[in-house]
Amino acid sequence: MDLDDYRKHSPYSDPGRYGGLLDDVATDFPAVAATARNVIVHYRAGGVELPDDRLDEVNRRWVDRILDTDQSRFPLPLAAQRPAVDRVAGCCRDHTLLSVAVLRQHGIPSRSRVGFVSYFAPDWHHDHVLVEYWNGDRWVWADPELDPAGDWGFDGYDIDPEAGLFDSAARVWSAYRAGTIDPERYGVSPELPIRGNWFIHDYVLIELAHRQKDELLLWDRFGAMTEDIATADLTLVDEIAALLLAADDGDETAEKTLADRYAGDARLRPRPQVRSISPVSGTVSIVDLRR
């Protein structure tokens, strides 16, 4: 994909009838991020206790569905303050998706990046999704979940790709294959068993999907994903990770090869349906992505 592709909405980022709400959001990233935090609160780590019957909102996969929920409570501009407890329950993917939607609505090339961050807990790498947008000269990594008033010790809206604060799933997979990281320190949480080599493997496929503008939920299952690394096609994911890293370095041939592979190989992309495992209830559902 080229820059112009990333200016356009995907089915996930398309606001539908709420386009006017996104038009009214300023395009400087602090304003975009503040808007996302004002609409969405993390369902587990948002600093408020949400009612149990609200937690399933984290499965809203399309921006227009997120805004349906928001506007049913607050039929107001997105900048109008919402109490944290009444915001839409979501996660990092949703903060990023709404931010990407705002940027694309204004014609700014943007996409979501899937990987792992080291700044939420010592000696642990949480799975995470960032915004990557084109500032006119370069791609910028920015985390809309981070309140700039926090004492982070770095600029969360211009994260240095070489600082080790965020590493793409492809980079983490390559480090695992080289034997330079402990995969058991990469996952959802130190308290949960959802971690390790199989998890990193599957996140390479999710990273590829997001790069191709299929901004899936992080608990969607499809194609070559596995929960047992012994059954994985390691060569396939090695190849995709290498192409993702080359594309990040500006290799246009790698970028085109990724798009071609994604379009032509059913192991690499969601079919019209995915198996989705809710992080709230554990319920498994089959979701038709064509709506």
- Scan for tokens 């000269």, then name that residue: 137
**Cα-flanking dihedrals φ and ψ of residue 55, to 5°?**
-65, -30
* pLDDT value at residue 271: 86
pLDDT per 10-residue tile (average), the chain, 291 residues:
94 98 97 98 89 93 98 97 96 98 98 97 96 97 93 94 96 98 96 95 98 98 96 97 97 97 95 92 92 71
DSSP characters for 70-124? HHHH--S-TTS---GGGSEEE-HHHHHHHHHHHHHHTT--EEEEEEEESSSSTT-
Separation in Å, CA 216 to CA 49, 113, 251 = 26, 12, 25
* pLDDT value at residue 47: 85
pTM of the model: 0.96
In 3D space, the residue among 194, 226, 44 whose CA is nearest the CA of residue 125 turns out to be 194
Sign of CA dihedral 42, 117, 250, 200: negative
